[in-house]
Every structure is written in C-alpha cells, then in structure tokens.
C-alpha cells in the first residue's frame, strides 16, 4: 500500500482540488473505493524518477509501488504497473530508457498500487505474469478490512495470463529471472523476482525499506510469514544483491537484516506480552516498538498500527 503519511495527505489534497475543478481530471469509476480514486488523483501529476541499478535494470519510483524495468531487444519487462493515472508519465520515463515496447509485466502481488496499470500495459503489448493467487484475487472482489475498502474484480485485460504456484523462470534480454512465491506474508499472493545475472531482487511488499511494514491479514498476510519472507530475501542472491523494496528507497542486504531484526524482536516482545494475558491496549501502552520507532516509525504504518498487526498474528 502507499505508505507515507505525507503522500497520503498530498493525494487527499489533490482529490479535494479535483472536486472543485470545473470538470473531472479523468474518468472516475464509481465502483472503486475512495482510496483508489484518491491515489489516481494524486498519481496523475506525480513525478516519476528513474534510478539505474545494475546490468541495464532500472527502477521507476513515484507511482504506487516501485517498478523495475529490464529493457532490451526482446521488449521491456516490467515488475509491477503502478497507478493507472500515471500512464503518460510512466510512458515518458520508459521512452527515455529505450524505444523497446513493453513485452512482459510481472505483478509482485494483487494490491492496486502494484497492479492498477495492468490494463494499459496489457493494451500496450504486455503479457502479465503472476502467482496464481494474484489472478484469483484480481478476478473477484476483494476487501482490505483495515481500510474498509472493497475492490471490484478487474477486467479480463488486467488479469495475469501466465500464472504459477511455487516458482517460475523467465529468460529475456540476456537475463534470467527467478520468480518464487513467498509463504503468506504481506498477502497470500506475494512473489520475489530475482534477476539472477545482475543480482537484483524485487521483494514486492514483503519488504518496506526504512518503515514499519503493512500486513494485509484480510487477504492472507501474517507476521510470521513476513519474518519467513524476510529470511528468504536474506538467503537469496549474495551479500551484494541490490534489493528493490515494494516501497521506499532501493537498498541492500544490510538494510534487509536490520528490518529482520526489528520485526523479529517486536514479534517476540508482543507475543510475550500477549501470553501474559495483556489486551491489545495494554500491549500498545507497553510500547514494544520503542527501541525502533526513531528509525522505522515515521511511515504510513505507525508504531501502534504495527503493534496491532503483530498482536493479531501471535
């Protein structure tokens, strides 16, 4: 999910401005929950930045989750599709990388801030690849309880057509990609995408760099799965693997290790307090995240929210 409070506020402001504009900024879908309408309003003007990583791989940031791009003669491969209203700006950013058309799109999980651009990217020529559960969830209405938001089923053109359960390998543009399903972690649809030659790993939202993670229990997420996923991210690639989180700046194994220590420590503290019979309010009052709040507590997921995510699962 979109995770900075600043971004949340700025999209709200833009949405409010849109209400008073003489005409709609773009077509509004009355079926979509308010958070998608606001995200689309905010993303229409969002600046897309391009960061070069290694071995031709770039990441586009600024519209929903981080988008990895591998250009080349077999056409571009993208990981995640951002918010649909960013189409013009994403197309400009992609054209600045190379003239290759979009040929393949991989979705790291079903959430709208990683899949809202699926329809236009498919229309532009992309075959969509994902875990089978991502297709199942996009193909039927879904609810994220925390946000009281229900998302309608996606149209056929936005659905992944190449799906797998456990793992899948792709060869394109001289690169080998290893796709692996995580245990239920952030959702039950998460996969990692490892560009094995360049040693660049996209973790989807199983890793938020520098902030407390969001865990979507209502579509299969779980704190213990997040810990297992983070351990697997540590075990994938090498010590110099470049790690693209779902949200936040591109990072490295050292930063993943710091996140792992943070979530494991807080998990054990909260589990211990819950075992003593403490209620959620008593656990929040005990501030089990205090030692980590300066470093991780400034994102969309507040220390109190993260404590609730952990308490729910232990």
Q: Is 205 in the site for Zn ion (CB under 5 A)?
A: yes
Q: Of 34-42, 79-87, 135-143, 205-213, which part binds Zn ion (CB under 5 A)?
A: 205-213
Considering the complex, state which of residue 288 and residue 299 has its C-beta at the smaller distance from Zn ion: 299
Q: Is 188 in the site for Zn ion (CB under 5 A)?
A: no
* DSSP code of residue 110: S
How far apart, in whole angstroms, are the C-alpha atoms of residue 45 and residue 63? Answer: 10
Here the contacts of 147-151 (C-beta below 8 Å, separation 24 or greater) are 147/1, 147/33, 147/35, 149/33, 149/34, 149/35, 149/36, 150/33, 151/32, 151/33, 151/36, 151/112
Considering the complex, state which of residue 111 and residue 181 has its C-beta at the smaller distance from Zn ion: 111
Least distance (Å) from Zn ion to the CB of residue 306? Answer: 15
Asked if residue 283 lies in contact with residue 273, where contact means CB atoms within 8 angstroms, the answer is: yes
Least distance (Å) from Zn ion to the CB of residue 112? Answer: 9
Considering the complex, state which of residue 111 and residue 269 has its C-beta at the smaller distance from Zn ion: 111
Least distance (Å) from Zn ion to the CB of residue 285? Answer: 29
User: Shortest CA distance to 211 belongs to which of 1, 39, 42?
Assistant: 1
Asked if residue 178 lies in contact with residue 194, where contact means CB atoms within 8 angstroms, the answer is: yes
Q: Is 111 in the site for Zn ion (CB under 5 A)?
A: yes
Q: Is 40 in the site for Zn ion (CB under 5 A)?
A: no
Q: Of 45-53, 106-114, 152-160, 297-305, which part binds Zn ion (CB under 5 A)?
A: 106-114
Q: Is 222 in the site for Zn ion (CB under 5 A)?
A: no
Helix (H, G, I), strand (E, B) or coil at 56: coil
Considering the complex, state which of residue 186 and residue 274 has its C-beta at the smaller distance from Zn ion: 186
Considering the complex, state which of residue 110 and residue 311 has its C-beta at the smaller distance from Zn ion: 110
Q: Phi and psi at residue 258, in whole multiples of 5°?
A: -65, -40
Q: Is the dihedral of CA 296, 244, 36, 43 positive or negative?
A: positive
Q: Of 35-43, 129-137, 204-212, 220-228, which part binds Zn ion (CB under 5 A)?
A: 204-212
How far apart, in whole angstroms, are the C-alpha atoms of residue 301 and residue 132? Answer: 28
Name the residues that contact Zn ion, by CB under 5 A. Answer: 111, 205
């Amino acid at each position: 999910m979109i995770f900075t409070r600043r971004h949340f506020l700025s999209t709200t402001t833009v949405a409010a401005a849109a209400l008073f504009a003489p005409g709609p900024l773009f077509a509004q879908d009355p079926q979509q929950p308010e958070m998608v309408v606001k995200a689309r309003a905010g993303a229409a003007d969002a600046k897309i930045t391009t960061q070069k990583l290694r071995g031709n791989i770039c990441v586009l940031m600024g519209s929903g989750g981080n988008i990895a791009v591998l250009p080349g003669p077999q056409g571009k491969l993208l990981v995640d599709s951002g918010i649909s209203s960013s189409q013009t700006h994403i197309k400009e950013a992609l054209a600045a990388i190379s003239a290759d058309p979009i040929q393949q799109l991989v979705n790291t999980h079903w959430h709208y801030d990683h899949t809202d651009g699926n329809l236009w990217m498919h229309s532009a020529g992309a075959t969509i690849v994902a875990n089978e559960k991502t297709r199942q969830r996009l193909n039927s209405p879904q609810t994220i309880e925390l946000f009281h938001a229900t998302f309608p089923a996606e149209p056929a053109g936005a659905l992944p057509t190449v799906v797998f359960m456990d793992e899948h390998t792709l060869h394109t543009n001289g690169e080998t990609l290893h796709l692996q399903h995580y245990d239920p972690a952030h959702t039950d649809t998460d996969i990692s995408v490892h560009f094995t030659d360049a040693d660049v790993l996209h973790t989807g939202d199983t890793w938020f760099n520098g902030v407390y993670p969001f865990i979507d229990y209502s579509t299969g997420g779980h704190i213990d799965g997040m810990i297992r996923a983070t351990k697997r991210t540590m075990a994938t690639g090498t010590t110099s693997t470049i790690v693209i989180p779902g949200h936040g700046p591109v990072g490295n194994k050292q930063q993943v290790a710091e996140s792992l220590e943070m979530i494991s420590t807080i998990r054990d503290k909260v589990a211990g307090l819950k075992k003593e019979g403490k209620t959620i309010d008593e656990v929040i009052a005990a501030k089990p995240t205090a030692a980590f709040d300066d470093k991780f507590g400034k994102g969309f997921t507040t220390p109190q929210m993260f404590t609730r995510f952990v308490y729910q699962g232990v």
